[in-house]
Amino acid sequence: MMEHHNRTPDWVKNAIFYQIFPDRFAWSKQVSKPGKFEDWNSLPTVHGFKGGDLMGVYEKLDYLEDLGINAIYFNPIFQSASNHRYHTHDYYQVDPLLGGNEAFFTLLEAAHERNIRIVLDGVFNHASRGFFPFNHILETGTSSPYYKWFNIHGFPLNAYQGKANYECWWNLPALPKLNTNNPQVRKYIMDVAKYWIEQGIDGWRLDVPFEIDDDDFWEEFRDVVKSANPEAYIVGEIPTEAQRWLSTGRQFDAVMNYQLTHTALSFFGGEQIDTQLAEGMMGLTAPTSINANQFAARTAQLLDIYPKEFSYAQMNLLDSHDMPRFLSLVGDDIGRLKMAYLFIMTYPGAPTIYYGDEIGLTGGRDPLCRKSFPWDESLWNRDLRDFIKELIMVRQSLPVLRTGSYEPVYASERILAYLRVDHEEKVLVLINAGYQAQTVSIPLNGAFEEQTILQDQIGPKSFTVEEDTLANVNIPAQTGYILA
């Protein structure tokens, strides 16, 4: 047995992810296009293609490097007949519309030269009608040698009309569920997982892994991936608490931390949350306003429910391709988004920016949360981007913000303060998520010596420690300090 249990890749604890939905990020003239696409700037539709591609991402690496990110998570890139590519045709071919394998390897090499990691979306629960084994059965019926690759209940297959008579995801005939109990299917998936790791990708994000309700399957998956590269990252899309997948150290390294998303929305969104828009978000209850005390307790608890090695490797996100954007959920209130970013950039786990969040892109439910990135800079919220860029620089310059302990020391109404501590550094983060300026005194629990001057890392303010306290600190509305 390999020694890859009970540890997660160190690079992830120091990562800042940028999530890209490939059809919508950037378009390159270097990729030949077979036909016309929807207008880039028109609102997205359910089935429409905008024509973003991987050479477009390659050409925007300067933009991403300038922002400060050091890892990219891509929504699916393999050949597929859908704009989101969760209907895989061929797990070994990057979609020709994205530039094919050649564009991907060009991008991968250039990203690695800049120390930017690449994590791909692994859709292993279901395939598509165009996946060759399923297509084989569509054409040849029970004679097909691939017959047992799916769970089929009758013939002919109702692949387009009527109720599907085979197992598929959410009863959608376009998404036939793979029979992962079949050793051939398992081998096929494991070979795909290993192949792309050997080709140089830095990890897999697993789509709906809870649908493959089989611990042995995921333990084998971890062995295969970590044998190919012990530093590869395995992150599962599990919206609920995920003790089952993270507590043994034998399955995933992390999950997409939608539990943190939910609590961040509840606190930073407060009374401003659009509950109608938030209804049914990721299958969770609609977030409702909570105070700083509840938020401090929940954010501490979310670090405690998994072994530390795993809780510090979580993928911490404020929104994604599967939910309305944070900004739209809080009534386009930029101040609330800023405070939420200040929090996730100073909390353990890998902060994740969904493409366009940094410039103030809005969007409701799917498909509106998947708009094209506007490259016309007059449409950007520059102040927001500068703020997020500065937070990234501070996180990258202070290791304690990445791997230090998280210790809430003050929480009242809309004011939160917490220490980040390691053997070398101590940082105090102070956030006023409310609409009124407040004057507070923050107990420091012996963290700093008397008369230490604490300097804000994102602004001009400084404060002096007196009697183990920061006394009478006035914090304007929707403002935060990172004091070191």
- Catalytic machinery residues: 207, 237
User: 240 and 208 in contact (C-beta within 8 Å)?
Assistant: no
Task: Name residue 389's beta-bridge partners.
Answer: none
User: 215 and 209 in contact (C-beta within 8 Å)?
Assistant: no
Residue with tokens 């292993």: 124
Cα dist from 308 to 210, 211, 246, 314, whole Å = 22, 26, 10, 10
Tally DSSP H helices, then E strands, for the chain.
17, 18
Residue with tokens 């401090």: 296
Task: Please report how many Cα atoms fall inside a 13 Å half-sphere around the Cα of residue 48, on the Cβ side.
Answer: 18
Tell me which DSSP letter residue 9 carries. -
Task: Name residue 347's beta-bridge partners.
Answer: none
Host H or E run for residue 135? helix 132-140
Q: How far apart are CA 312 and CA 296, in angstroms?
A: 17
For the four alpha carbons of 322, 327, 331 and 337, in that order, the dihedral sign comes to positive
Q: How far apart are CA 323 and CA 313, in angstroms?
A: 22
Host H or E run for residue 195? helix 183-198
Phi, psi of 26 (to 5 degrees): -160, 145
User: 42 and 287 in contact (C-beta within 8 Å)?
Assistant: no
Task: Name residue 205's beta-bridge partners.
Answer: 121, 235
Task: Name residue 176's beta-bridge partners.
Answer: 168
312: which residues sit within 8 A by CB, 6+ positions away? 8, 13, 303, 348, 349, 403
Q: How far apart are CA 411 and CA 19, in angstroms?
A: 31
- Residue 351: name the closest of 41, 37, 67 by CA: 67
